[in-house]
Amino acid sequence: VEDLRTPCLICCRATLEKNAATMRERAAALGVALRPHFKTVKTLEAAEIATDGERRRITVSTLAEASFLADGGFDDILYAVPLTPDKVDDVLALHSRLERFTVMVDHADQVSALLARTELLRTPLRVVLGVDCGYHRDGCDPHDPASVALVRTLCDAAAVRFDGLYTHGGLSSAEIVAVGEAERDVTTRFAESLRASGIEVPTIGVGSTPTCSVPPPHLAGVDEWHPGNFFAGAEARRRPVYSENEPPPFRWLLNQVLTRVVGHYPKSNTLLIDCGWTGASAQGKESGTAACRDLGQSRSGYGCFPLNPELRIANLKQECGEVTSVDGAPLDFRRYPIGALLRIAPHHSCASTHQHRSVNVLGADGDTVVEEWKICKGW
């Protein structure tokens, strides 16, 4: 790592493999199929680990991710963002080259735009309906009769195939098990009402990293699970993928940003680092306090320093960051010479991954770079 240009993204392959295996085991125990989300890992190699080498059954947030995976030999891809008319041509192109490609809708106008362009399809395009389970970001209201009418429109169209329901609870600060239960109950009850009216619901997909990490007691009626944050960031540290008796935080926190000390400013009790929000993202400025509490950094935003818990990020500029002490005590600048490496566990790993073009993969010693994986960019 001493030879790397900073700031840069680093991760431990062994930790990713363990996280992925643990999530697969948990899904199997609950009787659901795992459809991991690509939005965090964003590399073919990590996606292959997440899918246990099968390169099938995966979720994406952008069409760029879907194309990137298709080029890498993946299939059975779910595009889990409401579809807009400008993207229909790309959707049809992906549908024509993949054995199984699925899109998500949650509004009648989206369906109309899709049906206007799909008449000449040789095989029906799979479509799932997004359901709002209480997160209120996207998805239709499961209690609104218009949602049932929308499903009927999909079922009556020859060019598409209604393939079930999809929901996402998000990174809620509420009690995690209760959020997972809401995901399950709201979506399965809506499916029951659809089936009672004679509509077949082939698949029900629920889950986010928090609710898959600390799941409800059962997932009766659910078919698929789609966590994404296998690159565990500081936000996910509060919702561990595996137990608290695992190795120290550095080994647990998979996705980190490597940065260097570039300045000493004793009068302001500040270190300057060469990583700004363009290297770690600006997320966590307000909510970092809770996210980093388990790492012993009670007043840290943007992320944490798992190997240096006495430090916190006070502010991130575009290309530089201001670092000071957690408790306000004077820094011992001799401990952090100019050029010294620090490791940031970013507040939200999805956002920090998107800031980089590749991730440097570390071996078992945690200091040797053994691979470099290309990160998917674009939308």
Note the CATH number of domain 238-374. 2.40.37.20
Find the helix or strand (DSSP H, E) in which 210 lies. Answer: helix 209-213
- 31-231 against 238-374: fold identical: no
Express each pLDDT in 1-25 by its tens digit. Answer: 999 999 999 998 888 898 889 899 9
Q: What is the mean pLDDT of the chain?
A: 88
pTM summary value: 0.90
Decide if 101 contacts 66 (C-beta within 8 A): yes
Checking DSSP bridges between strand 341-346 and strand 303-304, what pairing results, if any? antiparallel
Rounded Cα gap, residues 323 and 314, in angstroms: 5
Q: Are strands 321-325 and 33-34 parallel, antiparallel or unpaired?
A: unpaired
Give the pLDDT score at 232.
Answer: 56
pLDDT greater than 90 at residue 45: yes
Confidence at residue 202, expressed as pLDDT on a 0 to 100 scale: 97
- pLDDT on residue 3: 96
**Which residue, among 104, 91, 95, 53, has the nearest Cα to 76 in the 3D structure?**
95
pLDDT in tens, 57-114: 999 999 999 999 999 999 999 999 999 999 999 999 999 999 999 999 999 999 999 9
Assess whether pLDDT exceeds 60 at residue 305: yes
Q: Does 159 have pLDDT greater than 90?
A: yes
Q: Measured between alpha carbons, how far is 285 from 333 in angstroms, rounded to an integer? A: 25
pLDDT (tens digit per residue) in 100-146 = 999 999 999 999 999 998 877 889 999 999 999 988 889 999 999 99
Half-sphere exposure of 267 (CA within 13 A, CB side): 0
Residues contacting residue 156 through CB under 8 Å, at least 6 positions apart: none
**Tokens at residue 121, please?**
């399809």
Radius of gyration of the chain (CA): 22
Q: What percent of the chain has pLDDT over 90?
A: 70
Q: How far apart are the first and last CA of the chain?
A: 31
Distance, CA of 250 to CA of 247 (rounded, Å): 8
**Whether the predicted pLDDT of 32 surpasses 50:** yes
| Mean pLDDT value of segment 248-271 | 81
| 214 band by pLDDT with thresholds 50, 70 and 90 | confident
Closest CA to 347 of 273, 272, 269, 295: 295
CATH fold group of domain 31-231: TIM Barrel (3.20.20)
Residue 234 has pLDDT above 60, yes or no: no
Which pLDDT value is given to residue 136? 85
Domain residues of the chain, as ranges? Answer: 31-231, 238-374
Q: Is the pLDDT of residue 247 over 70?
A: no
